[in-house]
Structure formats: structure tokens, C-alpha cells
Structure 1
């Protein structure tokens, strides 16, 4: 079972001059996508008892996600006000004192034996105490479990860039896979092109660094060199949840190939990585073809 740890929130998406509340959050989207793809997945993040908490729980249940590790909270659900410019999503967050933000390191449980890998990231890495909680989860488990990290950097959400960089400097060497968009890489290394920046991250310790760039496709950098997979051509409705769904496709492919383990990732080949990138791109293409973070179900994925 893959454990996903990180934020869930309500995306307030513009619709007909108003805003429609949709379940979202980077790590939450990846969790739902994994469940819809038929993977065994669990979620770790506080869920509010407010009405939006029920909105968040419904897609998790429909996708078969295990929520036993999700504490319920009387604090409010985080809101993200979404604006769309040319199909590209931009966000304003209402998060102070929210259910998820107040997750602390003391709230992190011992993980069940069924957990075989960890996925973490998103804005949950930025503020404390929740950022420290996710960092503690990774620190306690990375020696025995493979970890995939997607910081999904939102500069406008980061009040202390130096502290956040320091957290990433601690987390990325503990991760087996780090996924970074071109925008993430530009924020980390503004003087380098994306490929050079990705290789710079690789030097810090991860086994694989995934570099995504929308229509430019996805690249993977690892000890064996670099491989690429093109983006899948489709009509884009919006990009909400695209990278999150890509993450789920990669993880699902690695699990299906028997590679989602420390040993498997240590011996991975170029063809195996390319297969994972391709499934990630196929899943993301379906998500961007429809509005909101609405990842595909297994029966919607290409076969063969």
C-alpha cells in the first residue's frame, strides 16, 4: 500500500461568475488518482468535521482510499481560491489555523506494516507545525521505505524562503524520487536551465529526479543518465491536478513493474523509467482534458 501524506483543501473554482467548491490539494489529488487507477493507497492528513470535510471524504471513499490514519478535527478546512488565465491555474490560500496546518510531529503514528512506500509534498511542507510533521514522517521511515517527494512549490505561499529551502535541503536527500516542475526548478536554481537544475538536485542524494514541463513532456535523471517521455496531445480544459495525476501514474507504474522498493529503484533501467513516465503522462492528459482535478479511473486509461 502507498501512503500519501499532505494537504487536502477545497478549490474554489470560477464557474459562471461564481465559485464552485471542489475537493483538491496536491497530495490529496495524487491520493485520489492512485485509488482511481486501482492502486492500494492510504491517506494521512487531518480532515475537518465541517461541511467541506465531508466533501473531501467522499472522493476518497469512492476511490477506495484507506483513511484510517486521518484524524478528524474541529478546525476549518483550508480553502484555495483559484483563478484561471489561459487555462493555467493560480491560487490564493486561506489556511491560517486550519485542520491540516495544525498537524504536528506528535500526531504522526507508527505506520502499519501494509505501507510499502510514501508519497509526500505540496504546500503541507511549507508552514509549521504541519511541515515539521511531514518532515518527521519522512525522517522516521525513509531508511526502510521508498519515498517520493513533490514539493509543488508555490512561491506566494512561502513567507520564509530561507527556512523552506533549508527544509527541502533536509528532505530531498532522504527521498528516493523527487519530482519537480520547470517552475519548481527555476525557483530552486534561477541561474540554471531546468535539466541542469534537475541534475543539481540529483547530486544531493535522490535516486531519481523527475522533471516535468507541461507540453514539453517529462524527463527523468538518474545515475544511468536521462530519459524522456513526450506529453500526450489533448485539448486542455485547465491544468488543475495535472502534475498530481502524473505522480500517481508514475507510482502506479513502478508498483506494477515491481520496482516500488529500495532494491527495485536501485536497479531500475531506462526502459522501466520511460514506462513510468509514459503512464504518468497518459493519466495527466486525461486530467487536463476536463475541468478541475478530476483524475482518470482505470477503465479510462489507454490499454496495450
Structure 2
């Protein structure tokens, strides 16, 4: 079972001059996508008792995601006001004192034996106490469980860049797989081109660094020759949840291929990485073809 830990929130998406509330959040989207793809998945993040909390809980249940590790909270749900420019999503967050924001390291339980991998990241890495909680989850478990991290960097959400960089410098060496967009890499290493920046992250200690670039597809940097997979051509409704769904496709593929284990990742082949990138791209293409973060179900995926 893959454990996803990170923010869930309500995306307030523009629609006919108003805003429509949709369940979202980077790590939440990945959990939903994993469940819909048929991968055994669990989620760890506080869910409010407010009406928006119920909006978040129901899709998890529908996707078969285990929510036993989700504490229920009387605090409010985080809101993200979404604006779209040529299909690209931009966000304003209403997060102070929210249910997720106040998760602390003391709230992180011992993980059940069914957990076989951890996925974490998103804006939940930025503020405290929740950033410290996610860091504690990784620190306590990375020696025995494979960890994938996608920081999904939102510069406008970062109030203390130095503290955030310090956290990433602690977390990324503990990860086995790191996914970064071209924008993420530019923020991390503004003086380097994309490939050099990705290799700089690889030097920190991960086995694999995945770099995504929207229409330009995805690349994997690892100990072997760089692996590339093209983006899937489709009509784009918007890009909400695209990278999150890509992450789910990669993890689901690695699990199906039997190479998601801590030792197995060390022996991974270029062909196995390519298969994972391809499934991630296929899943992301379906997500961007329809409004909002609406990842595909297994029956919607290409066969073969």
C-alpha cells in the first residue's frame, strides 16, 4: 500500500463568472489518482468536520483510498482560489490555522505494516507545523520504505525561502525518487540549465530524479542513460492536477513492475523507468483533457 501524505484543500475554480468548489491539493490528487488506477493507497492528512471536509473525504472513499490514518479536525479546510491564464492554473491560498496546516510531528503515528512506500510533497512542506510533520514522517521511515517527493514549489506561498531550502536539503537526500518540474528546478538552481539542475538534485542522494516540462514530456536522470518519454497530445481543458496524476502513474507502474521496493529501485532498468514515465504521461493527458483535478480510472487508461 502506498501512503500519500500532504495537503488536501478545496480549489475554488472559475466558472461562468463565479467560483465552483472542487476537491484538490497536490498530494490529495495523487492519492485519488493512485486509487482510481487500482493501486492500494492510504492517505495521511487531517480532514475537517466542516462541509468542505466531507467534499474531500467522499472522493477518497470512492477511489478506494484507506483513510484510517486521517485525523478528523474541528479546524477549517484550506481553500485555494484558482485563476486560469491560457489554461495554466495560478493559486491564492487561504490556509492560516487550517486543519492541515496545524498537523504536528506528534500527530504522525507509527505506520502499519501494510505500508510499502511513501509519497509526500506539495505546499505542505512549506509552513510549520505541518512541514515539520511531513519531514518527521520521512525521517522516521525512509531507511526501510522507499520515498517519492514532489515539492511542487509555489514561490508565492514561500515566506522564508532560506528555511524552505534548508528543509528540502534535509528531505531530498532521504528520498529515493524526486519529481521536479522545469519551474521547480529553475527556482532551486536559477543559475543552471534544467539538465544540470536535475543532476545537481541527483547528487544529493536520490536514485532517480524525474523532470517534467508539460508539452515537452518527461525525463528521468539516474545512474544510467537519461530516459525520456514524450507528452501525450490532447486538447487541454486546464492543467489542474496534471503533475499530481503523473506522479500516481509513475508510482502505480513501478509497483506493478515490482520495482517500488527499497532494494528493487536500486536495480531498476531504463526500460522499467520508461514504462513508468509513459504511464504517468498517459494518465496526465486524460486529466488535462477535462476541467479540474479529475484523474482517470483504470478502465479509462490505454490498453497495452
> Do the structures match in fold with TM over 0.5?
yes
Per-residue CA deviation, residues 32-83 of structure 1 (Å, 9 max, x unaligned), is 0000000100000000000000000010010000000000000000000000
Structure 2 counterpart of 1:231: 231
Question: What's the secondary structure of 1:178's corresponding residue?
Answer: strand
Correspondences of 1:179-198 after superposition (within 5 Å):
179-198=179-198
Structure 2 counterpart of 1:42: 42
In the alignment, structure 1 residue 141 sits paired with structure 2 residue 137: no
Structure 2 counterpart of 1:131: 131
Stretches of structure 2 lacking an aligned partner (at least 5 in a row): none
Stretches of structure 1 lacking an aligned partner (at least 5 in a row): none
For residue 216 of structure 1, report the CA deviation from its aligned partner. Answer: 0.5
For residue 201 of structure 1, report the CA deviation from its aligned partner. Answer: 0.2
For residue 12 of structure 1, report the CA deviation from its aligned partner. Answer: 0.1
Structure 2 counterpart of 1:266: 266
For residue 225 of structure 1, report the CA deviation from its aligned partner. Answer: 2.6
Query: Which whole-Å CA distance do the structure 2 matches of 1:194 and 1:23 have between them?
Result: 32
Query: Which whole-Å CA distance do the structure 1 matches of 2:87 and 2:196 have between them?
Result: 28
Q: TM-score, normalised by structure 2?
A: 1.00
RMSD over aligned Cα atoms: 0.3
Segments of 4+ moved more than 4 angstroms: none
In the alignment, structure 1 residue 219 sits paired with structure 2 residue 219: yes
Structure 2 counterpart of 1:160: 160
Moved more, 220-229 or 292-301: 220-229
Query: Which whole-Å CA distance do the structure 1 matches of 2:196 and 2:290 have between them?
Result: 33
For residue 224 of structure 1, report the CA deviation from its aligned partner. Answer: 1.1
Per-residue CA deviation, residues 159-194 of structure 1 (Å, 9 max, x unaligned), is 000000000000000000000000000000011111
Correspondences of 1:2-13 after superposition (within 5 Å):
2-13=2-13
Query: Which whole-Å CA distance do the structure 2 matches of 1:269 and 1:199 have between them?
Result: 18
Structure 2 counterpart of 1:60: 60
Structure 2 counterpart of 1:201: 201
Structure 2 counterpart of 1:100: 100
For residue 108 of structure 1, report the CA deviation from its aligned partner. Answer: 0.1
Query: Which whole-Å CA distance do the structure 1 matches of 2:51 and 2:162 have between them?
Result: 36
For residue 195 of structure 1, report the CA deviation from its aligned partner. Answer: 1.0
Question: What's the secondary structure of 2:226's corresponding residue?
Answer: strand
Count of aligned pairs: 304
Question: What's the secondary structure of 1:225's corresponding residue?
Answer: coil
Query: Which whole-Å CA distance do the structure 2 matches of 1:166 and 1:300 have between them?
Result: 41
Structure 2 counterpart of 1:174: 174
